[in-house]
Structure 1
Amino acid sequence: MHLDDTAKSLTRVAVIGIGEHAETKLLPAIRAVSKLWLVAVSSRDAIKAKRILDRHPGISIHASHTDEALYESADLIVAAGPPQFNQKIIDAALRRNKHVLCEKPLATDRSTLAHLLGVAETAGSAITAVGLNLRFSATIRELIARGEHDPIAAIHIEYATTKPVTVAWGALNVAASCTLWHAIHVIDLAQSFLGPIRLSQIRQMELDEPGIAIEVQLQGNRCCGSILLHNCAPAFSLTIRTMHRSGTIATLTDLKSLTLSKPKHISATSSLYREQPRSYSLGTLADDIDSAGYRTMFAHIAHSIETGVQPLTSFQNTASAHTLLFELIDAVSLDPGNEREA
């Protein structure tokens, strides 16, 4: 293909690991960013490959993720498979000094995280990023910006999706993988609002509905909070109470609807939800995550590649969130009876 001057200035992108998420979310988001050029995907499924070509004409299809031509064709490699698969892709890409976006989580154990951080450190100028798209949701960005000039007394976020997780992460069973799929998201969001945090208490609760929930108490220098995670659907509830005794209470549902209220007074230790385990709400069900968050995430990565500055969600910047994730993995014990077949 002949490249004109405009095409030469774009960052060429190859996506490896084409599941439903990559096909419906990542590929359209990449195509929507003017500084990115989707040039290749890797898929062993001939029917899926034809469907992708019909939707994105002009790209090349590679049957194997080890195809050298796949890496040579791109500047940015998107590793969109499960964590145990993505590690191989990241290794191969960074050895070739390619920029990398890895779908979350980057790793599910400490040794893998240390290995990938080490590989990234020796990769020279390569930009690295983890696909924590919720950080780039318009309502989340609005709330973070608002908190810089308007005291926030409390934040409550509820998110749930009707699509179940059916794929296990490595040695973890499906139920554990489902619970932790969004744990990395919510820990990252908590750090975005709170700064450095620690997990002060973790407890497991039975629910009226099938499955169990994990409640995680958070503690920071100027605030405290809690996370509720469900093991039968990708769902979470995040509540943060700051040390401001008056100010805005922000409530987000599905990361799209932002409601702000200004009470006369709120105790720094009061809860925004009832304390009885069986009364927790897991939010309004939604079929779709904020797609604009994906586009904003890829635009942010494109800007990082252009400027040479690591993005907010670089491997190094998300290392502490992953470390907290591993603490959560170590602490929870999920009932195998709740496990679904992969």
Structure 2
Amino acid sequence: MQYADIGIDLGTASVLVYIRGKGVVLKEPSVVAYDRDTEEIKAIGEDARLMLGRTPGNIVAVRPLRQGVISNYKITEQMMRYFIKKAIGRRIHRKPFIAVCVPSGATEVEKKAVEDATRLCGARDVKTIEEPIAAAIGAGIDITKPCGNMIVDIGGGTSDIAVISLGGTVVSTSVKVAGDDFDEAIVRYMRKKHNLLIGDRTAEDIKIKIGSAYPRAEDDYMDVRGRNLVTGLPKTVRVSSEETEEALREPTSQIIEAIHSVLENTPPELAADIADRGIVLTGGGALLRGLEDLIYSKTGINTMTAEDPMTAVAIGTGRYVEFIVGYHED
């Protein structure tokens, strides 16, 4: 009989699906395009992302998850059903065991919403796992030892900061500042500094290509197209990475504050472990250039990014499934 036990990283920006024995088999944007009049879904995932900001009035492209939490239950369920089916195909003989990660600050009601939506997708059993624990497992950290590890998981909608020891979270916080807020900060900056109106996709492009959280030795430049707010006509502006550092100062400093507050509440023995072992960054937001340097300059603790920060949570969720399922089958 074929097994297909699944780990899902249900993120604000993208959904990753991990299948036991196969690894991460699917990574798609968590965007759904639907017709507002008929409520018929037109596209899901990458196809829907391409429609963001480019649809006629009756078709809307939405993200059914906001800040790591379900904001549109019905659409989330349909999106998850589509991704699970796409990941495992039709050759499944029994219902899968599914582990889904949730932000560490999620309430019981929010966790229940995720569990219910997953059950409706045909899960045999559902387990929710906190994002920092999944991220730590995915980053290759042995969380079962009595030793402090600090994880900073910067996703699309939330940043989860936690100190983990003996397989559990000792101190944690979840702030609703992450990749999406970096994009919004760039949109605001372009409007204020250059009188240029740009969309979220362009802002994300700027962040990926030249975005920086810390001053760099050499500046990178990029030509950005948008609408001039004075004339209303299209306009191109040359933007430097130094400007992105200025634009991103507010959201990055909020993440630094959250790291500080977790360190302040960490028991001294574990704080000594963290000073020794360093801070590990995971999540798509960890790819922002200069973030390691910024955290090091503000905390004095060596900071490194996981090998594949984008998939760390999905891999960790999947390995957690393997551990739980293996444990049940023994």
Q: TM-score, normalised by structure 1?
A: 0.36
Q: TM-score, normalised by structure 2?
A: 0.37
